[in-house]
Amino acid sequence: GEQVEQLPSSLIVQEGASVLINCSYTDSASVYFPWYKQEPGKRLQFIIDIRSNMERKQNQRLTLLFDKKTKHLSLHITATQPGDSAIYFCSASMYTNAYKVIFGKGTHLHVLP
């Protein structure tokens, strides 16, 4: 079945730095890739997504790049703030009779003030 791998597993950066989170998947049937963020003590929250017919999507300080050939995604966060500290989850979604979603293990981002 589909597998999703995220790297790195953790990141510690100084406020203002940019970070890159990488994600790869195995099943070419995956067509939709939402990303979620979980701040300490809070629920998972959707932050950005991309479809397999796109290469790039931007939402404010977040840029998501997608390479269908290599089955690879990367999430770029610029001008990080302490409030960005969270676990970031990549996911890959394929359609059966609804969108079945497989998650990566997450990347722990800690932004130091």
Partner 1 sequence: DTTVKQNPRYKLARVGKPVNLICSQTMNHDTMYWYQKKPNQAPKLLLFYYDKILNREADTFEKFQSSRPNNSFCSLYIGSAGLEYSAMYLCASSREREGYAEQFFGPGTRLTVL
Q: Which residues bind partner 1 (CB under 8 A)?
A: 4, 31-32, 34, 36, 42-46, 49, 51, 89, 93, 96-106
Q: Smaller CB distance to partner 1: residue 70 or 97?
A: 97
Sign of the dihedral defined by the CA atoms of residues 63, 61, 78, 7, in that order: negative
Look at residues 74, 39, 38 and name the one whose alpha carbon lies nearest to residue 58: 74
d(CA 102, CA 30): 9
Helix (H) or strand (E) holding 78, with range, is none
The amino acid present at 52, given as its one-letter code, is: S
Pairing of strands 107-112, 32-38: unpaired
